Structure 1
Amino acid sequence: MLSSLFLATALGAVGSYAQAAASAAAAAAAAEASTVAALRDAPTAVNRLNTLSQDSDFVFDFLNATTGVVTGAAGHLVSATVSNFPAVVGNGMAMTIGFLGPCGMNTPHTHPRATEMLYVVNGSIISGTLQENGARFVFNEVPGGSATIFPKGSIHFQQNNGCEPITFVAALNNEDPGVDSIAQRFLGLPPDIVSATLGDIGVEEVFGLANMIPDNIAFGTDECLQRCGIQRPTQPTNELQPRVSANAFPSSLTASSASATNSKRSLMIDSTEELVGSISRSPVSTQQPVSVALVAVISVLALGYIVMGAIFLMNKRRLSEREAAMYVRQDMKGRSLVLSMEEDVAHFTQ
């Protein structure tokens, strides 16, 4: 009885605390939105300055930020934008600091309203960019102390290619740069549209893929993970596109469908690795065609040798016949092949 009362009291306290925290967060967001609106309405820069009455309003602590933080299994990003740092209003810029763990990847994304210039503080990253249809893919390894640029709207990614944590600093030329995560947004389109775009792979397959997309920052390539001795863990998938009636999956699909898709994917990967890693273990698909080819090659070679042997014997026979025709016995040397009358008489009288 007493324990039940204590449990009920504890649960009530936790619920009240959560409700109070949510209310405080909502109030802070409303106050910040009001400040941003006032800054945008300010007719002059001096008016904007006076709207931010505290000097500390012009400082953003990236190391202890409570807003603008995106966290995944392999690292996190902290962004100072108009949404959480009103001082950038009217200044046309924002900033993101990336803290990438070993093999951590800032997955492919775009900034719809900003160009990004990224500076690598330590370690090195690999980065890639696609700007538009017809443009070539730009790939670089960017060491510490170097910077690279990603044009506005381009699809790009960064991956820590080492086994130690790294940090990068990204400046963006818009106070509201925006982020569009490619995988999550694409697979958040109507499932039949995604299926058709991917060659009619089926809505069930799309359902499975959509539920596999890891949150940013995610673990990167298998090559890096193997080199660093890291086992890819289960990663959170909380950044998926919300579903409404227009992009919803059929009600018949459940989590078991996603599990089945994941299992099929694992089987496909295992089969591919099996085929590539050990051809000899696939007699039906590899050994039989190879054996047939070897038999054909050997047969052709054997036929060639037989023909060559026959030609050799024929030439040898012709040569022997020619030598026999030209042969002259020792006792016939110096003599006429046609006997004279005297030689003929002498021959028969002997």
Structure 2
Amino acid sequence: MLFTSAALVILAHSAAILAAPTAPSASTSAAAAATTAAAPASTGLSLTQKLFIADTAVDRFALLPDDKQFVFDFNQPQAGAGKGGELVAANRKTFPALVGTGSGMAVGRVKPCGMNTLHVHPRATELQIVTQGRLITAMTPENGVLNANGKGRRVIQNEVKAYQMTPFYQGSVHTQFNPDCTDALFVASFNAEDFGAGQVVDEITSFSDDILEAAFGQSVDGADIDRIRAAVPVSIAEGVEQCLKTCNIPKRA
């Protein structure tokens, strides 16, 4: 490409202007000063949240500087434990070191005749091993899983003794019952850091009376529903009547 003498003069003049330093405007200087002087705002995030959004695993370890943060104590009591036992859960909220592992765990103690009432885990499959005593377990996986004659829903029920294991699949309704007069203990692992739990009867009875009456085919009325709601235990409950008699445990009023 050819340039005329006039064009070369114009280009040289423009280059000189672009190369010359310019003083920042008053508004630009003030904004920069404000940015420099401002203290970093507190994020207000929990440790679990910080770990969850950390850029790398290396950054997560930097957020856990104390070696004791990698130990979870299942000896602590459960808040709001039921009459029939207690369960202590390690999830990413109660044990932040689990963030990034995709795993959780729980330890449960089921008292004599105690029952871990019907419940589901919405985000994980549970592998449960009994470490003391025995448990009678029952599970219904999902619609379409039928018993041998194909005429009813299948309930998978087992007696699980010490150091035996059974799975409860994600979303399945399941329960455990201690038929003996001594405590039963179990350890449960989950393939999720936030496995969650939903007590089925408590969830069902939370619906309005008209929905429940329709769901039960009009076989119950409002008064019946209110009695059921008042009797529903929070978690692990005292169980089957024959066991209560055998173990000389008075029935609840």
Of the three residues 39, 57, 74, the one matched with 1:62 is 74
Q: Take 2:132 and 2:46, find their aligned partners in 1: how far apart are those partners?
A: 39
* Correspondence for 2:230 among 208, 211, 215: 211
Distance in 2, Cα, partners of 1:45 & 1:128: 39
Tell me if the contact between 2:51 and 2:99 (Cα under 8 Å) persists in the aligned partners: yes
Of 40, 44, 66, 2:56 maps to 44
In the other structure, the counterpart of 1:35 is 47
Structural RMSD (CA)? 1.6
Q: 1:37 & 1:172 partners in 2: Cα distance?
A: 20
Find out whether 1:90 has 2:100 as its counterpart.
Answer: yes
Kindly state the Cα deviation for residue 54 of structure 1 after the two structures are TM-superposed: 0.9
The alpha carbon displacement at 1:204 in A equals 2.4
User: Structure 1 residue 220: deviation in Å?
Assistant: 1.1
Cα separation, 2, equivalents of 1:173 and 1:128: 20
Query: 1 CA distance for matches of 2:80 and 2:55?
Result: 34
Query: AA paired with 1:58?
Result: F
Correspondent of 2:207 among 178, 186, 189: 189
Q: Deviations over 1:80-99 (max 9, x none)?
A: 11121111111011111001
**Aligned with residue 76 of structure 1, among 73, 86, 100:** 86
Over 3 Å counting, the alpha-carbon distance change for 1:126 and 1:70 in structure 2 is farther
**Greater RCO (CA < 8 Å, at least 6 residues apart):** 2
CA displacement 1:217-255 (0-9 Å, x = unmatched) = 101111211222211224xxxxxxxxxxxxxxxxxxxxx
Report what 1:131 is aligned to. Answer: 141
Runs of 4 or more off by more than 4 Å in structure 1? none
1:250-275 per-residue CA deviation (whole Å, 9 max, x = no partner) reads xxxxxxxxxxxxxxxxxxxxxxxxxx
For structure 2, the 5+ residue unaligned runs are 1-42, 146-153
Output the CA distance in 2 between the equivalents of 1:69 and 1:78.
Answer: 9
Partner of 1:262: none
Q: CA contact under 8 A between 1:122 and 1:166: conserved in structure 2? A: yes
Aligned length: 202
What is aligned with 1:174? Answer: 192
1:148 aligns with 166
> Partner of 2:137: helix, strand, or coil?
strand
Which structure has the highest helix share of the two?
A: 1
Structure 1 counterpart of 2:245, from 194, 215, 226: 226
* Amino acid in structure 2 at the alignment position of 1:60: F
Alpha-carbon distance in 1 for matches of 2:235, 2:53: 35
Query: Max radius of gyration: which structure?
Result: 1
Among the aligned pairs, what percent are the same residue?
A: 38
Inter-partner Cα distance in structure 2 for 1:94 and 1:70: 20
Is the CA contact (8 Å cut-off) linking 1:115 and 1:150 kept in structure 2?
yes
Greater percentage in strand: 2
Take 1:94 and 1:173, find their aligned partners in 2: how far apart are those partners? 6
Q: TM-score, normalised by structure 2?
A: 0.76
Tell me, what secondary structure is at the counterpart of 2:81?
Answer: strand
Deviations 1:19-40 (A, max 9, x none): xxxxxxxxxxx97x51111111
Contact kept? 2:76, 2:88, Cα under 8 Å:
no
CA distance in 1, matches of 2:89, 2:212: 31
Any conservation in 1 of the 2:85–2:237 contact (CA below 8 Å)?
yes
Deviation, 1:70, is 4.7
SS in 1 for 2:46: helix
Superposition deviation, residue 203 in structure 1:
2.0
